[in-house]
Amino acid sequence: MNVIEIKNVTKDYGDFKLENISFEVPEGSVCGFIGQNGAGKTTTIKLILDVINADTGEIFVFGQNTKNDSASLRENIGVVFDEMGFHEFMTGKDINIMMKNIYKNWDEKAFFDFLKRFSLPAKKPCGSFSRGMRMKLQIAVALSHNAKLLVMDEPTSGLDPIVRNEMLQIFREYVLEEDHTILLSSHITGDLEKLADEVVFINGGKIVLAGNKDDIMEKHGLLKCKKDKLKDIRESFIVHAQPGTYGVEVLVNDRKECVRLYPGMVIEQASLEDIMLFYVSNRCKCAGHI
């Protein structure tokens, strides 16, 4: 079962266009939604949450069209944004009172247990919280109304490595429940390498890659060679080539076949960051544009 299905969705702002995108997020998975700033990640998330309307296409969450019953769907969706959505004068106790009147399944005990676990004071205005504390507060809220889907937009951006690692552990615990799913938008690809099962890569409003993270990483390779050897590589394998420390670095889209065909060249497995950077940098798949 797919928790999220996006089918041929377009949103045109004039100066930016989300162009006919389609992808799926399977139940029980962590899906990393990657791309540089301005690639269309936040626009896509707003469409999924029915905050803005698509020009064309359909979006299904838990098998239901978001246009038909978005209010009931929100009961099962927890949302964490880059910026905190609470007034800065509000305390944890204030937020608990407000959320009890918003979510039918609000669990007051779970919320205060999360505040204690995250070392968040219940009586202190959240405007005085650090960035990491603000993110933890949003996560505490998202996890306290029994949401089956977490949708998060850059939740670890700007956090120090220790706090980021703590948050990743929270997400791992959440998806131990088989019916829990995460869509995690981020440009910190290292976090997604540790956590994600699936990856959707968006660039310039278009989906570039989508699928199982391990398969995508296994398929791509970073080939290193002298510039004069670049002509020997089949052009259909080359995603993008750029000058490297000792010659040329080439992202190839079939690492195993390149290892077989070019045994004298160094070919390493590409990281998600390599894959993202080379696809973004890709202007032409030919040596004359290095």
Please write down the HEC assignment for all residues of 8-72.
EEEEECCCCEEEEEEEEEECCCEEEEECCCCCCHHHHHHHHCCCCCCCEEEEEECCEEHHHHHHH
User: Are 130 and 227 in a shared domain?
Assistant: no
DSSP for 109-161?
Answer: HHHHHHHHHTT--SSS-GGGS-HHHHHHHHHHHHGGGT-SEEEEESTTTT--H
Report the domain count for the chain. 2
Q: What is the pLDDT of residues 11-39, one digit of tens each?
A: 999 999 999 999 999 999 999 999 888 89
Q: Which of 68-72, 186-190, 204-208, 251-255 has the lowest mean pLDDT?
A: 68-72
From 182, 211, 240, the end of a domain falls on 211
Indicate the pTM of the whole model: 0.89
Name, in order, each residue with C-beta under 8 angstroms of 219's C-beta and a sequence gap of 6 or more.
Answer: 253, 254, 255
Q: How confident is the model at residue 70 (pLDDT cuts 50, 70, 90)?
A: low
Residue 132 confidence (pLDDT): 85
User: Are 207 and 263 in a shared domain?
Assistant: no
User: Are 8 and 116 in a shared domain?
Assistant: yes
User: Are 207 and 232 in a shared domain?
Assistant: no
Q: Is 224 helix (H, G, I), strand (E, B) or coil?
A: strand
User: Are 201 and 241 in a shared domain?
Assistant: no
User: Are 118 and 60 in a shared domain?
Assistant: yes
Residue 188 confidence (pLDDT): 82
Q: How confident is the model at residue 284 (pLDDT cuts 50, 70, 90)?
A: very low
Average pLDDT over residues 204-215: 95
Instruction: Give the pairing type, strands 149-153 and 181-186.
Output: parallel
Q: How far apart are CA 113 and CA 144, in angstroms?
A: 9
Query: Does residue 175 carry a pLDDT above 80?
Result: yes
Q: What is the pLDDT of residues 98-111, one digit of tens each?
A: 999 999 899 999 99
User: Are 138 and 23 in a shared domain?
Assistant: yes
Q: Which of 45-59, 72-86, 214-228, 263-277 has the lowest mean pLDDT?
A: 72-86
CB 99 within 8 A of CB 111: yes
Q: For residue 248, give the H/E element and its range.
A: strand 248-252
User: Are 257 and 204 in a shared domain?
Assistant: no
Q: How confident is the model at residue 84 (pLDDT cuts 50, 70, 90)?
A: confident
163 or 42, which is more confident: 42
Q: What percent of the chain shows pLDDT beyond 90?
A: 68
Q: How far apart are CA 19 and CA 229, in angstroms?
A: 37
User: Are 37 and 14 in a shared domain?
Assistant: yes
Query: Does residue 9 carry a pLDDT above 60?
Result: yes
Query: Does residue 285 carry a pLDDT above 70?
Result: no
User: Are 45 and 122 in a shared domain?
Assistant: yes
Q: What is the pLDDT of residues 198-207, one digit of tens each?
A: 999 999 999 9
Q: How confident is the model at residue 287 (pLDDT cuts 50, 70, 90)?
A: very low
| Phi and psi, residue 136, nearest 5° | -65, -35
From 171, 194, 211, the end of a domain falls on 211
Q: What is the pLDDT of residues 118-136, one digit of tens each?
A: 899 999 999 999 888 888 8
What residue numbers bound the domain in which 243 lies? Answer: 220-289
From 178, 211, 244, the end of a domain falls on 211
User: Are 126 and 233 in a shared domain?
Assistant: no
Residue 69 confidence (pLDDT): 67
Q: How far apart are CA 54 and CA 41, in angstroms?
A: 14
User: Are 111 and 232 in a shared domain?
Assistant: no
